[in-house]
Amino acid sequence: MTGNAQTKPAAKQAKTAITPTRAENYAEWYLQIVRAADMAELSGVRGCMIIKPWGYGVWELMQRDLDRRFKETGHDNCYFPLFIPLSYFQKEAEHVEGFAKEMAIVTHHRLKIENGVLTPDGELEEPLIVRPTSETVIGTAMAKWIKSYRDLPMLLNQWANVVRWEMRPRLLLRTAEFLWQEGHTAHESKEDAMAETRRMHEVYRQFAEEVMALPVIAGEKPSYERFPGADNSFTIEAMMQDGRALQAGTSHYLGQNFAKSLNIQFQNREGALEYVHTTSWGLSTRMLGALVMTHGDDNGLRTPPRLAPWQVVIVPILRNDGDKGTVMAYCESLKAELQAQTYAGERIRVKLDARDISGADKRWEWIKKGAPLLLEVGPRDVEGGKVCVTRRDKLDEGKSFVPQGEFVLRIASELGAIQQSLFDQALALQKARTVTDIKTRAEFDAYFGKEADNMYNGGQGFVRGKWSGDPASIAMMETHGVSVRCIPLDQSGEEGTCILTGAPATQDVIFARAY
């Protein structure tokens, strides 16, 4: 939108909106953005968060887009109980071991009040686990519902809260309670179930890249990082601005493990009883944290247009009461014209911020939240038929003054350009900080062991190279806090030697520090 626009140089910013900056203290910068953008905050309840309006608004848009993709791929939404009896868990040993250390357990069903003192009362015969994930409870229902191959595939999804008792909570990224969707499906054969697992893995990849503007590496998890009870786990891994990896969505082929432990059988086409093959896949509010760590800058969040609750915010600038009538009328009409346009198949979401606080305060609030386009409209703009535009992703270019009609006509392409530019910047970072020339353990140790010398002193970056899978190599990585994030789907197939052990190895993997 710089076509025939006049551009006014940005005022020198004496300081940034977020203190500290990324370079000063990345971990603290993250917390400050989450707060400043009104995304979320920790509550008085240990490890549990409050998701605030801007954060929840982004999550609603994520839900709406994902839900459409799930329905288009044939899935039905359901809702299953929050509580899972202890005995359900007992059936799948590997699964229960994976979650035992972080389960909230309900043991009583009423309170006794005596002299104002409240104590738990009415002990349950069988304790109930607050679901950390729902394979066992949904599998138990499937065992009842599935009779024959005609009932397959069974393709279910639920939007729900889950609880995993985190000893070290981290806002949005790792909290005791979080929101997510969990898909659970049952199939006649391994082939069908694996096709589903890969289909949903690809749905996540497309969603992350197209909607969240989050470039990811799609791959399989090494066996030691699989979901407890899975035969294969697939992941999309994103690089944060400090070079660490963040697991952004996972899709699991569960084989017949849960089918056998929960007795989910069907009569096959030949009339014989057989166990189904199941899958599960999930994506959570953790992605809100990924959004901040990917698109945040030292002035706050830059919300990708596809996920911005308000894509355009109009701030009327009133110098005296006499201005009010004409400026507000101009703003209202601008809002109506913008709302009549569409971007990515939906009406443009426009907020006219008419609150009784200063224009400067509003400006900084929307910059911190990351509304993609901010329009400031004063009496002189009304006279000239213009709008004063700030593009959030190009704050350093300052404000430009664009004729109103031209701005309205170009709104969709402008939002598309911002969406693309956020993706391109994140991809450029991911490429710049993915190292492919490390071949030996010494080089590996030097890379991950050196003093942080790159931007936002954190995880260094991704090392892409050969790995033999030898269990002994795991301890070698762990001394640096590094893990194998995934075995990317695109493999060179070339033979080589394992970076860590020197043994022959063909598979390429991504090594990194992770959130």
Minimum CB distance to its own copies smaller for 7 or for 43? 43
Question: Are 86 and 128 spatial neighbours (Cβ–Cβ below 8 Å)?
Answer: yes
The pattern of x and - marking residues 177 through 216 that bind its own copies according to CB under 8 A reads: x-x-------------------------------------
Q: Which two tokens stand for residue 335?
A: 């809002």
Span near its own copies by CB under 8 A; candidates 161-169, 209-217, 299-307, 384-392: 161-169
Task: Give the integer Cα–Cα distance in Å for 487 and 6.
Answer: 50
Q: Does 104 sit near its own copies (CB under 8 A)?
A: yes
Nearest to 235 by CA among 251, 254, 222, 255: 251
Q: Does 45 sit near its own copies (CB under 8 A)?
A: yes
Minimum CB distance to its own copies smaller for 346 or for 478? 346
State the nearest-atom distance from the C-beta of 233 to its own copies, in Å.
Answer: 23
State the nearest-atom distance from the C-beta of 93 to its own copies, in Å.
Answer: 8
Task: Give the integer Cα–Cα distance in Å for 212 and 69.
Answer: 14
Q: Does 160 sit near its own copies (CB under 8 A)?
A: yes
Task: Give the integer Cα–Cα distance in Å for 90 and 103.
Answer: 14
Task: Give the integer Cα–Cα distance in Å for 231 and 241.
Answer: 32
Minimum CB distance to its own copies smaller for 140 or for 483? 140
Minimum CB distance to its own copies smaller for 23 or for 45? 45
Task: Give the integer Cα–Cα distance in Å for 179 and 505.
Answer: 39
For helices 53-72 and 286-295, angle between their N-to-C axes, nearest 10 degrees: 110
Size of the site for its own copies (CB under 8 A): 64
Question: Are 485 and 510 spatial neighbours (Cβ–Cβ below 8 Å)?
Answer: yes
Minimum CB distance to its own copies smaller for 12 or for 101? 101
State the nearest-atom distance from the C-beta of 299 to its own copies, in Å.
Answer: 23
Minimum CB distance to its own copies smaller for 54 or for 407? 54
Handedness of CA 304, 307, 312, 315 (dihedral sign): negative
Task: Give the integer Cα–Cα distance in Å for 313 and 267.
Answer: 58
Span near its own copies by CB under 8 A; candidates 109-117, 220-228, 412-420, 505-513: 109-117
Task: Give the integer Cα–Cα distance in Å for 254 and 229.
Answer: 6
Span near its own copies by CB under 8 A; candidates 96-104, 298-306, 324-332, 359-367: 96-104
Which positions from 120 through 159 interact with its own copies, judged by CB under 8 A?
120, 127-130, 137, 140-141, 150, 156
Cis, peptide link before residue 309, omega less than 30° from 0: no
CB neighbour list of residue 109: distance below 8 Å, 6 or more residues apart: 122, 124
Span near its own copies by CB under 8 A; candidates 46-54, 190-198, 208-216, 229-237: 46-54
Q: Does 105 sit near its own copies (CB under 8 A)?
A: yes
Residue 147 CA: distances (Å) to CA of 103, 143, 272: 32, 8, 11
State the nearest-atom distance from the C-beta of 308 to its own copies, in Å.
Answer: 15
The pattern of x and - marking residues 326 through 365 that bind its own copies according to CB under 8 A reads: ------------------------------xx--------
Minimum CB distance to its own copies smaller for 80 or for 275? 80
DSSP 99-117: HGGG--EEEEEEEEEETTE
Q: Does 103 sit near its own copies (CB under 8 A)?
A: yes
| β-strand partners of 130 | 83
Nearest to 246 by CA among 236, 256, 255: 236
Q: Which of 53, 405, 449, 504 binds its own copies (CB under 8 A)?
A: 53
Q: Does 101 sit near its own copies (CB under 8 A)?
A: yes
Distance of CA 422 to the CA centre of its chain: 15
Q: Does 72 sit near its own copies (CB under 8 A)?
A: no
Residue 237 CA: distances (Å) to CA of 56, 60, 403, 465, 493: 23, 22, 42, 16, 21
The pattern of x and - marking residues 76 through 95 that bind its own copies according to CB under 8 A reads: xxxxxxxxxxx-xxx-----
The pattern of x and - marking residues 295 through 314 that bind its own copies according to CB under 8 A reads: --------------------
Question: Are 182 and 157 spatial neighbours (Cβ–Cβ below 8 Å)?
Answer: yes
Span near its own copies by CB under 8 A; candidates 110-118, 260-268, 331-339, 415-423: 110-118
Q: Which of 113, 360, 409, 428 binds its own copies (CB under 8 A)?
A: 113
Which residues would be at the binding site for its own copies (CB under 8 A)? 43-45, 48-53, 56-57, 59-60, 76-86, 88-90, 96-97, 100-113, 116, 118, 120, 127-130, 137, 140-141, 150, 156, 160-161, 163, 165, 176-177, 179, 356-357
